[in-house]
Amino acid sequence: MFIRRLGNLKRIGVNALMPYFSHPQTGRPWELGRALRQHCPKLESIDIDGPVPLWFFDLPILPYDKIRHITRLATESLPLYLLEDLGELAQEANWAYRMLRLQEQELGELAEGKSAKPYFPQLKTLVLRGKHCLSAQDLILLGVHGTFLTRLEMVHWSVPDRFILNMYDTGAAATAAAESSNPPPLSGEMSAVVEERRRWKRRVFNYLHLLMFLQRRSSLRHFAISGDTIPFEHLIDKPIVPRTPDQHMYDDDYDEAAEASAEEKEESLIILPWACEERLETLRLGFQVSASDPREHELVWKHLGRFGNLCSLHLDRSTLFASLSYGVEGLLEGGMSETLEEIRSLPGWWKTKDCRELVLWFSRSFPKLRVLGLAYDKWHVDGKRGKTYCAFLEDEVVKKCSIRRVFIEDAPVEESPW
């Protein structure tokens, strides 16, 4: 009754104070999202603290014969030669194959976004504090349809609470749609697949979903997520290579030239562009790269260098080396040298011998840079040794450089993102 009167509401903050997971039926936490969808379509800014089950798009699930990837999957199975080779494991492998194909096809349909209807078409700002429950499906569709979305902040990755994953719309509309159709009967195996898809309707997002969002949302100007880092192997565009070395023995269409091209591509790693590269002004994100492979560091620095309007860069928990021998000059690839004003949590390199020279390099390369925060892990470096590493901050040439504040940041206390 209260929300019905808020038809012109544009900004809202919601805190989760009740233990919804203990009494999901009596508490009916999903009713809040439905009420906001129905009565507050003009919402532009949503700030959520806690696992509030607020969704952003309709994800129709019934009847199953209207879901393209379900109907296609009903006729798919593992290739015959693999079924023969696997023997007793064939049934289990076939199930795993179907579930993998189910996820791939579902992601493809989500990325098309044809059947999705946004609850809040005017949404510009979404801030998720604490342990939230933004689903992978909603995140991808925000990337496809979030035309006005300019700010997305997440303090943690989404929480895999079972009460959220298991909730799906079983209201009158969905039930009526199911009863009015006469879908063909499914086999026992496919029924299990459909039920699995239903239970995971609001799946927790992972690195793949996050990157799919960033590769699609061009309006984004401010993006921040903390609590975890993106591993390099998830960041790169992986080439498609034959799954079995002897595939040509079973496949008449086997192309040796195509395989050679795929292997060559595997050697030349690529990070796909993000749609927001020309607009992004603030970025807070961690990258996990190998300490033994300078090529990985160089690729990430060049990727960051694409953001021509970036003003603030936070590299929380990153394992990047900011060193000329690890490609840090890749930051100068675009126009960031004229816009960057702040770098925080810059990791690793300041513990090496060339830390003084690199501070001066940042000073010369980024004329507008005024704040440089250097990451310092207090749990692995004792105080006396830390002072030795920080001694370069007292050099007169460092004090007089164009950067107004060069300081050491304590690394955050390590904790589980859940």
- Exposed, middle or buried: residue 221 (CB in 10 Å: 0-12, 13-18, 19+)? middle
Q: Which two tokens stand for residue 183?
A: 């879908």
CA-only gyration radius of the chain, Å: 25
Alpha helices in 203-251 (DSSP H): 207-214, 232-235
Q: Give the pTM.
A: 0.81
Q: Which two tokens stand for residue 333?
A: 């690839």
CA dihedral 41, 43, 47, 48 (to 10 degrees): -10
Residue recorded with tokens 């689903």: 135
Span 294-348, pLDDT tens digits? 999 999 999 999 999 999 999 998 999 888 889 999 999 888 999 999 999 998 6
* Segments of the chain with pLDDT less than 70: 17-30, 60-95, 98, 160-187, 189-190, 193-200, 239-267, 348-353, 377-389, 410-418
- Give the number of other Cβ atoms within 10 Å of residue 191's Cβ: 12
Span 204-234, pLDDT tens digits? 888 999 999 999 999 999 999 988 899 999 9
d(CA 335, CA 32): 44
d(CA 29, CA 52): 7
Q: How far is CA 194 from CA 60, 178, 187, 283, in A?
A: 13, 14, 10, 38
